[in-house]
Amino acid sequence: MHWKILIGMSLGVFLGLALAQFEWGPSFVRDWIKPFGSIFINALKLIAVPLILASLIKGVSDLKDLSNLSKMGFRTVFTFVLTTIVAVCIGLLLVNLIKPGASISEETRLDLLSSYETEASTNISKAVVQQETGPLQGIVDIVPENFMGAAADNRNMLQVIFFALMVGVGLILIPGDTAKPVKEFFDGFNEVILKMIDIIMMAAPVGVFALLATLVIDSPSLDLFAALGMYAFTVILGLLLMIGVYGLMVYFFTRRSPLSFFKGIAPAQLLAFSTSSSAATLPVTMERVTEHLGVPKEIASFVLPVGATINMDGTSLYQAVAAVFIAQAFGLDLSLGTQLGIILTATLASIGSAAVPGAGMVMLVIVLAQAGIPEAGLALIFGIDRPLDMCRTVVNVSGDAAVSSLVAKAVVSRGKFATAELEEVQV
């Protein structure tokens, strides 16, 4: 499948470049090719909430003991936060060494500000609304007042996770005979969703073909890309280093070959690159981690949905680089204290970032405001944000898979799961 996806991506880029040379090409791609990409993403998003609901309820209820859940939860969240801090530090180190903002000329800066002023204003307005809420509003928002309303929007993943956790805990606490029919229902429901994933993935090569062709058509001019080349290089270098960190983590803590790990999750990475959405990629990540990395379903169904919501290492690294880049472009000199503040703010902002395309841009406004950087500078990076969004989503998904492997190794080594599953993970 990953070779088919790669071929689809390559053909999409080739067709986009070819049709961009004709006056009628862009409208043809938007009218006759883009819809297939939209259908593919919609199909993946369609099963995101049911997948989280079924897999998380099944995973939590199978733990048998609340102490197992609390230990796994603490280990998962702690590891996610730690990797996010590492990602932000890598981003700050690189952007201060390379100084990509120095390569932006005044003419290019004014051109970008003019071209993307409307998009920047929209994101600033959204961020202002979020900043005006109370300090505990984020915690309040986790608890939905209506589950059906929360399940109707993929941006409310934390609320769906909260509901699923509550149901799973309830199944642990009630008598086994009473819980059995409910658990059997969700077991069967989970199997149906997993089979739906297999069906949808048959269309993945066509879907990514359409998505990449559309991306090429909608990309800004090559002149703007050249002006932002050093910025993109800095972000991508940081993301590659973060991928290396995951490989080292997997090797030292699970003794699995990094090559074997990345080969196992390659289709999920390619899909993340095509869709720019951790939530849309979640079904495939779940399948690759359980069936190809040997992570028990009980662990994957807890760690991966949580990771798709709060673990945004690629996003946090990008926010750190983007904030300092914009400051450099405006000639601002950020102090050490300000950059330490960026580490804290970017970490918290990435946790609250929705697992959908473009959400990191809204959270970046908060990071810029904390550091005293002009929010209008968002317009400087809009032109190249979409390709970088695709790259950082790959890192987000890779981080989820790596942490699930680490948590599985730690939990399984303590004899929490069946011997057959332990042997599978060790293999």
Strand segments (E) across 49-92: none
Cβ(370)–Cβ(341) under 8 Å?
yes
In whole angstroms, give the CA distance from residue 58 to residue 298. 7
Cβ(100)–Cβ(230) under 8 Å?
yes
Cβ contacts of residue 384 below 8 Å, gap of 6+?
220, 224, 225, 228, 231, 232
Per-residue pLDDT of the chain (427 residues; tens, 9 = 90+): 667 777 887 888 888 888 888 888 888 988 899 898 888 878 877 877 787 787 778 767 766 666 767 778 788 888 988 998 999 899 999 999 988 877 666 666 666 566 555 555 555 565 555 556 666 666 777 788 888 887 777 666 668 778 888 888 888 888 888 888 988 898 888 778 778 877 887 887 888 788 778 877 765 544 445 556 788 899 999 999 999 999 999 999 988 899 999 999 999 998 888 877 777 788 889 889 998 888 888 888 888 888 877 788 888 898 888 888 888 877 677 777 778 877 777 776 665 454 444 456 656 766 776 677 766 666 667 657 777 888 888 999 999 999 999 988 887 665 544 433 434 444 4
pLDDT value for 421: 41
Nearest one of 161, 196, 183 to 43, comparing CA atoms = 196
Give per-residue burial for 121-154: e unless 16+ CB within 10 Å, then b: eebbeebeeeeeeeeeeeeeeeebeebeebbeeb
pLDDT value for 422: 37
Give per-residue burial for 256-291: e unless 16+ CB within 10 Å, then b: bebeebbebbbbbbbbbbbbbbbbbbbbbbbbbbbe
Nearest one of 272, 303, 261, 309 to 286, comparing CA atoms = 303
Indicate whether this model's pTM tops 0.85.
Answer: no
pLDDT value for 419: 38
Cβ(285)–Cβ(268) under 8 Å?
yes
